[in-house]
Amino acid sequence: MSSASAAGVILLTAEYLPFPGGIATFSTRLAQEVRDAGFRAHVVAPAYPDLPASRAHPDTHRPLRHHRIPPTALLAVPRLVRSFPPGLPFMAADIRSVLLAGLTQPLHRRPYRAMIHGSEVSKLGSRNPVWSLIRRAYAGADMIVANSNATLAEFRAGFGEHVNTVVAHLGVDAAWFDGVSGGFEHPELRSLGPDVAVICTVGRIESRKGQLEAVRVLALARDTHGLKDAVYVAAGRPEEVGYTEAVRQEAQRLGVRAVLPGAVTDGDLKRLFQRAACHLLCARQLRGKIEGFGLVILEAGAQGCPTVTTAVGGIPEALGTTGVCTAPTDLAAMAIAVAAYGLDRSRRDSHGAAARTHARGFSWQACARHSFPELSWPQT
């Protein structure tokens, strides 16, 4: 290994801090782990003029826009990438970045690797001309890094075999294992009574996350398994037009008390996981949308909250042997599991403790080491 190859990395991403999305979390944490290990991470990312500014890092460059590659970037990005020291591993962190890295390789003249997260690879069979370019960009990558074995299998089904692949499971921030003091900050969460069973879903309010199905699961748990007076809390920003209202209307129709506070602070998410009888993720596999891993399951587990979920994408890898995993359409089985947690605190606590232990096995450092095996990582 040359000293140049051990000096740092290049990371091209269409999402980055301060944006709160999953790819932004992945890219930000990956860069931080590389820097914490004593290497340089040259990040090429979007600017977010409408979001609160984060502390600028001298190795972070922002010629892109959120989920958009402006025409000027087609020349600016390869010029920037070419200016970095030779021999650095170069990762395109998401589908847009892979396309940009592939299209402009004649200009930047660097090998690149492609990170795949889940939903994007389920579209690789599309006949849209743009997807021909995207498939060519993936074919040009020197390594495919997947966030789960399930994502890698999905990639192979739509693309075929690639000569160099690796799975790098996502990590859990150490802060998720910390306690939190005080009551809820959000007024709607403060209104939760002390004696009701709380069932929560954390994540964007969209059909892929299955909040609509979760409401139906709670109604079944009440009507057939005796879980009375339970409250459903779906915390996350609305993503699909009309879907949030559909969830509210279904809850009203079925007589399920539902609280949808929108996006809340990390402190309130911890309080919610601590307060909840279980975390309920009725994930669905839709065309072009799939849960590649399910990091939220590990974050819930870090706070001692077990998850009831569905066998979609990489979710079983995140869940391990903790919690309960059912078929995506088996609402009856989910209702049984939810009621069992809601009615039996000892069951909830024992499974929550197992989930916390399981979550400790996933770190961002391990994710970074698998993503950039060339680096001379410090001994752990």
- Give the residue-averaged pLDDT of 191-201: 93
Q: Is residue 60 part of a domain?
A: yes
Distance from C-alpha of 34 to C-alpha of 175, rounded to nearest angstrom: 18
Does residue 184 sit in the same domain as residue 150?
Answer: no
Does residue 189 sit in the same domain as residue 145?
Answer: no
State whether residue 12 is helix, strand or coil: strand
Does residue 306 sit in the same domain as residue 354?
Answer: yes
Q: Is residue 380 part of a domain?
A: no
Q: Is residue 378 part of a domain?
A: no
Does residue 236 sit in the same domain as residue 161?
Answer: no
Instruction: Give the CATH number of the domain where residue 286 resides.
Output: 3.40.50.2000
Does residue 248 sit in the same domain as residue 327?
Answer: yes
Distance of CA 96 to the CA centre of its chain: 17
Q: Is residue 377 part of a domain?
A: no
Higher-pLDDT residue of 20 and 374 is: 374
Does residue 166 sit in the same domain as residue 180?
Answer: no
Q: Is residue 2 part of a domain?
A: no
Per-residue tokens: 249: 């209307």
- Give the residue-averaged pLDDT of 175-202: 94
Does residue 83 sit in the same domain as residue 59?
Answer: yes
pTM over 0.85: yes
- Give the residue-averaged pLDDT of 107-119: 93
Does residue 122 sit in the same domain as residue 98?
Answer: yes
- The band of 288, judged by pLDDT with boundaries at 50, 70 and 90, is low
Higher-pLDDT residue of 286 and 308 is: 308
What is the per-residue pLDDT for 323? 96
Does residue 164 sit in the same domain as residue 201?
Answer: no
Q: Which residue range(s) make up the domain with 34?
A: 8-171+363-371
pLDDT above 70 coverage of the chain, percent: 96
| Phi and psi angles of residue 246, each rounded to the nearest 5 degrees, phi first | -65, -40
Q: Which range, of 7-11, 68-72, 246-250, averages the lowest pLDDT?
A: 68-72
Does residue 73 sit in the same domain as residue 159?
Answer: yes
What is the per-residue pLDDT for 278? 98
Q: Could you give the number of structural domains in the chain?
A: 2
Does residue 205 sit in the same domain as residue 191?
Answer: yes
Q: Which of 172, 183, 182 is nearest to 301 (CA)?
A: 172
Angle formed at CA 68 by CA 64 and CA 71, multiple of 5 degrees = 70
Does residue 326 surpass a pLDDT of 80? yes
Helical spans, DSSP H, in 41-163: 73-83, 95-103, 105-108, 129-139, 149-159
Does residue 100 sit in the same domain as residue 231?
Answer: no
Distance from C-alpha of 156 to C-alpha of 137, rounded to nearest angstrom: 15
- Give the residue-averaged pLDDT of 174-200: 94
Q: Is residue 115 part of a domain?
A: yes
Does residue 122 surpass a pLDDT of 80? no
Higher-pLDDT residue of 54 and 115 is: 115
- The band of 2, judged by pLDDT with boundaries at 50, 70 and 90, is very low
Q: Is residue 3 part of a domain?
A: no
Q: Is residue 379 part of a domain?
A: no
